[in-house]
Amino acid sequence: MNQENFKKKYTESGMIGQYLIRSFYQAVGSVTQPENNNEILEVGCGHGYSTSNIQAFYPDSKIKACDIDNGLLKDAKSRCPDVEFINSSIYNLPFKNNAFKTVFCLEVLEHLEFPDLALKELKRVSSNYLICSVPREPLWCVLNLCRLKYASKLGNTPGHINHWSSYGFKKLLGTYGKVVCVKQPIPWTVILLDVSSTK
């Protein structure tokens, strides 16, 4: 199956693409909790570009990150040598309940066959917060069509099997905790979720 080239998004996106990516991470950073936090996990770290941004948000914290693809983990480790990387499925994380105060899951849920099972597992290992993002639909597909990408798929990026509007994503995450903040950097939705009240 044709899959999204994750690395290309960061290395070959041009000036506009780089601007959008910077805006995305500014939005993610704006919802992070300011206190020093030594209990941080990123799930679905890919090549480690998101991991390096999370490190910048928490420069004094120890961060763990995981992905199911060993090839991606090797690349991520070269990019972020101070992070502990672990090979793991999002559906079966090798951590105790409430092991991390904050759990990040950025640009992952749209790829998953069972996003609800993934969210249950993310909530299980978080004692306080989830920070999640997905492409904002239908804007994402419309922008792809505007740049003449994936026209035969109506603008849908290969590998994206779930599609949420900001409202739909907020409603989904609201079943797992309290939605504290919603950011909409074009063309994404970023949500800070407090899961502590539903433990």
> What is the distance between the alpha carbons of residues 130 and 119, in angstroms, rounded to a whole number?
9
Q: What residue type is assigned to position 84 of the chain?
A: E
Domain definitions of the chain by residue range: 6-135+166-198
Give residues with Cβ within 8 angstroms of 101, minimum separation 6.
33, 37, 39, 40, 126, 127, 128, 129
On whether the CB atoms of residues 51 and 147 are closer than 8 A, the answer is no
**Cβ neighbourhood burial of 63 (10 Å; 0-12, 13-18, 19+):** buried
Cα first-last separation, the chain: 38
Quick one: pLDDT at residue 17? 85
**Cα distances (Å, whole numbers) of residue 126 to 13, 93, 97, 98, 164:** 33, 11, 7, 5, 23
pLDDT in tens, 87-127: 999 999 999 999 999 999 999 999 999 999 999 999 999 99
C-alpha distance from residue 167 to each of 27, 54, 183 (Å): 17, 25, 11
Q: What is the pTM of this model?
A: 0.92
Distance CA 161, CA 83 (A): 30
Comparing CA positions, the residue from 129, 131, 132, 142 lying closest to residue 186 is: 142
Could you tell me if 176 and 123 are in contact, meaning their C-beta atoms sit under 8 angstroms apart? yes
DSSP string, 50-99: HHHHHHHHSTTS-EEEEES-HHHHHHHHHH-TTSEEEE--TTS-SS-TT-
**CATH second-level architecture of 6-135+166-198?**
3-Layer(aba) Sandwich (3.40)
Low-confidence ranges of the chain (pLDDT < 50): 1-4
Distance in angstroms (rounded) separating the CA atoms of residues 186 and 27: 10
